[in-house]
Amino acid sequence: MNSKNSYLFWLNNILDQKIKKQLKNLNKEQIVANFSNSLIFGTAGMRGTMQLGTNNINVVTVCKLAQSLSVYMAKHGKQSIVICFDTRTNSKKFSRIFAKVMSKNKINVYLFKKFAPTPICVYATTKLKADFGVMITASHNNKQYNGIKIYGNLGIQIGSDVQREISHIFNEVNEIEIYNKIYKSKLKNNIHYLTTQISKDFVKMQKSNYKKNLKIIYTPLNGTGRYCVSNILKTNGYSFKMPKTQKGANGLFKTCPYPNPEFKEAFTESLKLCKKFKADIIVATDPDADRIGVMVKHNDKYIKLSGNEVGYIFAEYLINKNNSENKFIVTSVVTSPLINEICKKNNVHLFKTLTGFKSLGTKTYEVCKKYGKSSFVLCYEESCGYVVNSNYYDKDGIYATLLICEIANSLKCKNKTLIDYLNDIYNKYSYIEALSDSIIYNGKDSLKQMNNVVENLRKHKIEKILNYKVTKTVDYLNDETGLEKQNFIEYHLKDIIFIIRPSGTEPKLKIYLFVKGEQNTAKDTAKKVLNKIKSVLNNE
């Protein structure tokens, strides 16, 4: 069905007069943009901008996904689901739409009364032994976006087989028919409301014995992290400040238009607060609180740590605390290879998977079954997602915040900082400069345009970047890597590795670059090589 026919189908059949009026106000360009494609599952679920149309997240497409999951659950004898939502615009509304469809299909629904972080959704799914967990969130994307993550009963994002089956059902569902049945209905049957008690249970833990003299600034970036992170820090005896402008729930993210703790811009309000409150460390969680970003005061300057650098720190600290024989760490193939050296020198098993916690969580679960949970050290990837607690298999910004504060606090007692600790790691192992960047594509054919670039790379192989010859190419879609097939390509040069990977959720071509060498030289080389790679890709 083309964009015009899809649009007319919605316009002629939908009973909701408010939506019908909005549809009539769309111009030709909007109709093409909003109805030219259908949303699909990516590596982290379904995500899109909040507009009308088959290509976006709205009450109708949320309804369609809920019905698709309901059909799947009925087919496989699944009966219960947890539904949670973040602070974004429409997240609560979408959670109620999802619950209505599930209730109509006689599924038992555990529905959060108030917003909560993704880690709490995962925790509730496992604690209540639900068959699935659904989180309404677009994670770290800007205010225009929303999305849906789906978890299985182990608290791991659904696997590829389940994803494909639901996607097939999704393509067959008449979304307007389903929406017309539920849009005026009220939540009555099969609904069990979850209160903040579930969050209280999650943050209960034994207090650490360190003397607490660390000065912390924590920001939830107007997201869901405030309650849980505040309570877990207080429970462990830490005092902290929060920027007033980012304390409250606000899906418009007015002080941080792109609420991604990977980037320094997310710390602007916190750095303002540092002028009065001389913090030792600043920690930010993204809107659904499953990622963290960290800045550290060192020699009177605030330095942003990358996702890889926090990973090195966690790995070194946790390896030294773990006395198990079969210690192991799980990372993705786009994580800095410095972790390879850390694990090798410490006799730690290292498992690498494809990107996304669907893969990372599954591998962690499998290895925990083999070696026991006591052998678990860390699971993480470079995009600031960490699992530091062996009871969970999805990234968790709450416990990660507590751990980075614990490490920073123990160092401060020795008159050291996280930067000192990081430099000790480089001196002990080696230095690898790790950079990442993206090329974003726009327009109705943006996904096709992005994928065409990667296909052209397969046909016309890169042989040289600057003066460095490509010595090895690994195609994860066609080569035998021992991993599930995925559309990205890895290139090896002398002391250099870079990876090209299309995003699974948006039209963004991601570049990961790793350069080994002396710190200053490696930094300079990495910048030059990255710029050259981008110029090559832009010419494809």
The pLDDT, as a whole number, for residue 189 is 85
- Cα–Cα distance, 110 to 125 (Å, whole number): 9
Q: Per-residue DSSP letters for 232-269?
A: HHHHTT--EE--HHHHS--TT-TT-SS--TTSGGGGHH
The pLDDT, as a whole number, for residue 451 is 85
The pLDDT, as a whole number, for residue 229 is 96
The pLDDT, as a whole number, for residue 42 is 63
Same-domain check for residues 92 and 130:
yes
Least confident residue range of 19-33, 66-80, 238-252, 433-447: 433-447
Burial of 371 (0-12, 13-18, 19+ CB in 10 A): middle
**Confidence tier at 39 by pLDDT (50, 70, 90):** confident
**Confidence tier at 209 by pLDDT (50, 70, 90):** low
Give the number of domains in the chain. 3
Q: Which DSSP category does 158 fall into?
A: P
When mean pLDDT is compared over 4-8, 138-142, 330-334, the highest value belongs to 330-334
**Confidence tier at 208 by pLDDT (50, 70, 90):** low
Same-domain check for residues 426 and 436:
no
Per-residue pLDDT for 206 more than 60?
no
Per residue in 354-412, pLDDT (tens digit) is: 998 999 999 999 999 999 999 999 999 999 999 999 999 999 999 999 999 999 999 99
Per residue in 439-472, pLDDT (tens digit) is: 988 876 787 888 888 898 998 889 999 989 999 9
The pLDDT of 256-261, averaged and rounded, is: 93
Same-domain check for residues 190 and 240:
no
Same-domain check for residues 325 and 182:
no
- Cα–Cα distance, 468 to 463 (Å, whole number): 9
The pLDDT, as a whole number, for residue 250 is 95
Per-residue pLDDT for 106 more than 60?
yes
Asked, for residue 207, whether it belongs to a domain, the answer is: no
Domain boundary among 430, 456, 488: 430
Q: Residue 414 corresponds to which amino acid?
A: K
Same-domain check for residues 436 and 425:
no
Domain boundary among 171, 199, 227: 199
| Residue among 131, 134, 135, 121 at smallest CA distance from 202 | 121
**Confidence tier at 210 by pLDDT (50, 70, 90):** low
Tell me the CATH number at 324. 3.40.120.10
Sheet holding 281-285, edge to edge: 240-241, 216-219, 281-285, 292-298, 301-305
Same-domain check for residues 22 and 156:
yes
Range of the domain at 7: 3-199
